[in-house]
Amino acid sequence: MALRELVNGYAQPGTVMWIGVRPERRAPLLPLSSVLINETGIEGDHRVKAGKRAVSIIQWEHFPVIASLANKEDVTPEELRRNFVVSGINLLGLRNRTFRIGGAVLRGTGICAPCSRMEENLGPGGYAAVRGHGGITADIILPGEVSLQDQVEPVT
């Protein structure tokens, strides 16, 4: 198999495990069972504007790593402040790729670097604990609804 095929492949579809919106800056995230991603962003999220960081997604499998590095028993999606938590697919493989999440189509635009809030939320060293594990950002290609347990997979 050629390297290009390997790079563009994936082992299995992922699953949406958690959804949250931030109604205003610095407000606690509100967990939801479904949400509409429209042309300008995620409905109900304060960051409703199109662009490279319209949506943030983090990998469920990284939570135990972040907790360990932050010297905490566990971490929650609310503490990490991403819009979606997904499991079962390597998010880094979706950077610079178009993918479907539920009924929406997004394009991975880059790494979602931690912000200084991680020190507040996770304690001293929280920022460092999230570095390299913060997930990805994405822009919106096609609007659609996303619900818990929806699939995440590259568009081929």
Domain ranges of the chain: 16-144
C-alpha–C-alpha distance, residues 83 and 137, integer Å: 10
pLDDT tens for 129-154 read 999 999 999 999 999 999 999 999 99
Average pLDDT, the chain: 92
H runs (alpha helix) in 58-136: 63-69, 77-80, 117-122, 126-130
pLDDT number for residue 25: 84
Laid out side by side, the sheet with 144-147 consists of: 41-42, 34-38, 144-147
- Comparing C-alpha atoms, which of 118, 111, 115, 117 is closest to residue 138? 111
CATH: 2.60.40.1180, 3.40.50.300, 2.40.33.20, 1.10.3720.10. Which one for 16-144? Answer: 2.40.33.20
Lowest mean pLDDT among 6-20, 69-83, 114-128: 6-20
The answer, as to whether pTM is greater than 0.75, is: yes
Confidence of residue 49 (pLDDT cuts 50, 70, 90): low
